[in-house]
Amino acid sequence: MNPTPAAIFAPGLFTSSLVQIAALVCAVVAVVAGAVGVFTVIRGQSFAGEALGDIGTTGESGAFLVAVAPLWGIAIAAVAAAGVMELIGIQRPRGRDVATGIVLGAGLGVAALLIYLDTVQHSTTGTTFTIVFGSPFAITSSAIPLVIVLSVISLGLILVLFRPLLLSSISPELAAARGIPVRLLGAGYLLALALAVALAAFTIGTILSTALLVGPAATALRLTRSPAKAVLAAALIGIATTWLGIVMAYDSYDWYDQSGKSWPVSFFVVTLIFLAYLLAGVPAWRRRRASTSPTEAPTRA
Amino acid sequence: MTDDPSLDGTAPVGGAPILSVEGIGVRLAGRDVLRDVSFAISPGEFTGLIGSNGAGKTTLFRVILGLQGAGSGSVLVAGRPRTRRNPLIGYVPQKFLLDPDVPLRTRDLVGLGLDAHRFGISLPSRARRARIEEMLDAVDARAFADQRVGSLSGGEQQRVLIAHALISRPRLLLLDEPLANLDLRSGHEVVALLARIAAEQQIAILISAHDMNPLLGVMDRVVYLAAGRAASGTVDEVVRTPVLSELYGHHVDVLRVHGRVLVVAGEAGELAEASDQAHTRTQVEVIT
């Protein structure tokens, strides 16, 4: 008799194919989002990441309308939006927020129309919720090959460009002086970002994708000292939070006997990421407190 | 790893100038920023590029680095036309703002100086680590080698950036106003460090500054920029009333007080800026 594991891992958790697919996709996407996210945070482009995820709404609602696999719709919309941002001038310091904001507004306007058409044609009210907030449990095995392909492209771009991208993210001036093509690298990074955000949007929902992109990365930056370790830590934090979120959502089936439904996985994942970020701040907070402790007070000679 | 030229190769050194700037002219937004600027720097020479804000110092650096095209003239590095990625030139920028949260240690930034232009992730190697340690020692940065660059003081960051620039063994080091944001003591430390590097490693140094006084003891030559034009030579040759009056296009007085140099312009247009500089120098003398 060993009640504790059974209480945490509800019966059927490990044998459910829905859980297996969700766990696999979440792990792959968490690794990609972690690696890309570290650069997103260093470059201060979280807003662009958020916008590309939101525009995934346009792509997914469009895909639903014409009965195409949702990930195709999200990925095409995100990459196209990233291309327009690049053209408008996201790489100019002052153009960054403007380019992002304009593309975001236009994209969501189209999404409003597409979602309206979806609900009219299919008369399903749950569509909007699924698109915007997503669910790893809703992923079918047919989506896995495309998830893998897009992940390899995005992660591959980041790993190949790692060193020049790191220097140009830290100091474009220093990179340019060494003959590194800063503009071209920025465009390559933007493509990796669009794909990573599309994957995150597909997995945990379009407007929650930022949490998976920025959350584990920002947490990792607090905990590590070197860029390579930050990428590794962000990936691990992403896997841990998504898997724990899956377990908790699966368990939540039993929380209300009458409903027979689970709470959204995305809620648990995003909440766990947020808690991890707060917890990661504790060591730095304690260091700061220690450095201002009375022992440092000036002593009279 | 032996085929890595930045790790074991050294650039050819000769008596010929490492840098020749010949008749450079740059016109930006209808204004002549640089006009017929010519000078040369020999290996191991310590040269100050002196001029007030807006004199064209940064533009000249951008031309030398190949980031800015010149309307006329040419730049030769070690006798050959400059290429876009020139391993013979190291560069230390003026502005370097890095958030303390960014997980980039001093040793990471120095290491990027070695191989940031290469694809992929740097694999740990003994030669790489040894070279980084060597550079950390050269700029006295070992004490904060594992600290985040964003948490360092201005003077410490300058030293790290110098190590970042020097690790790939350039023959010419450009520094854009490295003393601008430093207190006097950190400034002295950086200047002494640069003078030592120039002498020991025969690396030519071109350092821009709006105040030449901190550099007076170490400069072999001065390139004085005013109104987009340049005069070059030793300090005694260039920083004289007739030479600078000719350069500015109107009368200026060069005063030497307690081993310090004061350039006082007499015309209304230059007066505010000149008196501003004179004012800061007076303060400097009160402090020292």
Q: Is A184 on the interface with B (CB under 8 A)?
A: no
Please state, in angstroms and rounded to a whole number, the distance separating the CA atoms of residues A206 and B66.
43
**Together in a domain, B115 and B53:** yes
Put simply, the answer to whether B67 touches A177 (Cβ < 8 Å) is: yes
Nearest chain A residue to B146 by CA distance is: A225
Put simply, the answer to whether B121 touches A159 (Cβ < 8 Å) is: yes
A267 Cβ neighbours under 8 A, 6+ residues apart: A249
pLDDT beyond 50 at B258: yes
A-chain residues near B84 (CB < 8 A): 179
Phi, psi torsion values for B15, nearest 5 degrees: -80, -15
In chain A, which residues have pLDDT < 50? 1-2, 294-301
Phi, psi torsion values for B255, nearest 5 degrees: -110, 140
pLDDT beyond 60 at B271: no
pLDDT beyond 50 at B249: yes
**Together in a domain, B164 and B250:** no
A-chain residues near B65 (CB < 8 A): 176-177
**pLDDT one-digit tens code per residue, A36-50:** 999 999 998 889 999
A225 Cβ neighbours under 8 A, 6+ residues apart: B103, B105, B146, B148
Domain count, chain B: 2
Q: Which of B112, B128, B175 best probes binding to A when mutated, by most A CB atoms within 10 angstroms?
A: B112
Nearest chain B residue to A221 by CA distance is: B103
pLDDT beyond 80 at B250: yes
Please state, in angstroms and rounded to a whole number, the distance separating the CA atoms of residues A152 and A162.
15
Please state, in angstroms and rounded to a whole number, the distance separating the CA atoms of residues A243 and A249.
10
* Host domain of residue A270: 16-287
B270: number of CA atoms within 13 Å, CB side?
23
**Together in a domain, B157 and B283:** no
**Together in a domain, B95 and B210:** yes
The pLDDT assigned to A14 comes to 77
Which pLDDT band, with edges at 50, 70 and 90, does B251 fall under? confident
Q: Is B65 on the interface with A (CB under 8 A)?
A: yes
Distance from the first to the final alpha carbon of chain A? 68
Residue A299 falls inside a structural domain? no
Put simply, the answer to whether B95 touches A173 (Cβ < 8 Å) is: yes
Please state, in angstroms and rounded to a whole number, the distance separating the CA atoms of residues A59 and A235.
26
Put simply, the answer to whether A180 touches B116 (Cβ < 8 Å) is: yes
Average pLDDT in chain B: 84
Please state, in angstroms and rounded to a whole number, the distance separating the CA atoms of residues A197 and A35.
12
A-chain residues near B68 (CB < 8 A): none
**Together in a domain, B244 and B206:** no
B168: number of CA atoms within 13 Å, CB side?
25
User: Residue A268 is encoded by which pair of tokens?
Assistant: 């648990």
Count the Cβ atoms, other than its own, within 10 Å of residue A81: 27
Residue A235 falls inside a structural domain? yes
The pLDDT assigned to B272 comes to 39
Contact A234, A220 (CB under 8 A): yes
CATH number at residue B175: 3.40.50.300
The pLDDT assigned to B50 comes to 94
pLDDT beyond 90 at B204: yes
The pLDDT assigned to A26 comes to 94
The answer to whether ipTM exceeds 0.90 is no
A166 Cβ neighbours under 8 A, 6+ residues apart: A39, A42, A227, B104, B112, B116
Contact B11, B87 (CB under 8 A): yes
The pLDDT assigned to A6 comes to 64
Count the Cβ atoms, other than its own, within 10 Å of residue B251: 14
Which residue would you say has higher pLDDT here, B49 or A250? B49
Nearest in space to B219 (alpha carbons), one of B250, B257, B261? B261
Put simply, the answer to whether A179 touches B86 (Cβ < 8 Å) is: yes
Domain count, chain A: 1
**Together in a domain, B109 and B38:** yes
* Host domain of residue B54: 5-239
User: Residue B180 is encoded by which pair of tokens?
Assistant: 């601008």
The pLDDT assigned to A124 comes to 64
**pLDDT one-digit tens code per residue, B157-174:** 999 999 999 999 999 999
User: Residue B19 is encoded by which pair of tokens?
Assistant: 């840098």
**Together in a domain, B126 and B255:** no
The pLDDT assigned to B281 comes to 41
* Strand bridging mode B229-233 / B221-226: antiparallel
**pLDDT one-digit tens code per residue, B103-159:** 899 999 999 999 888 898 888 889 999 999 999 999 999 999 999 999 998 889 999
**Together in a domain, B210 and B260:** no
The pLDDT assigned to B279 comes to 42
Residue A241 falls inside a structural domain? yes
Phi, psi torsion values for B71, nearest 5 degrees: -65, -35
**Together in a domain, B94 and B206:** yes
Residue A98 falls inside a structural domain? yes
**Together in a domain, B253 and B195:** no
pLDDT beyond 90 at B38: yes
Collapse the DSSP code of A159 into the 3-class scheme (helix H, G, I; strand E, B; otherwise coil) and give the result: helix
Please state, in angstroms and rounded to a whole number, the distance separating the CA atoms of residues B158 and B27.
31
Partner residue opposite B117 with nearest CB, options A160, A164, A230: A164
CATH number at residue A85: 1.10.3470.10
The pLDDT assigned to B274 comes to 41
**Together in a domain, B198 and B264:** no
pLDDT beyond 90 at B208: yes
Nearest in space to A150 (alpha carbons), one of A186, A203, A99? A203
Interface of B with A in 96-155 (CB under 8 A): 96, 98, 101-105, 108-109, 112, 115-122, 146, 148
Residue A78 falls inside a structural domain? yes
**Together in a domain, B131 and B270:** no
Report which DSSP code applies to B252.
E
Count the Cβ atoms, other than its own, within 10 Å of residue A254: 12
Size of interface A-B (CB pairs under 8 A): 82
pLDDT beyond 50 at B286: no
Residue position matching structure tokens 């694999």: B123
Looking at residues B237-248, what average pLDDT do you find?
Answer: 88
Q: Which of B95, B101, B173 best probes binding to A when mutated, by most A CB atoms within 10 angstroms?
A: B101
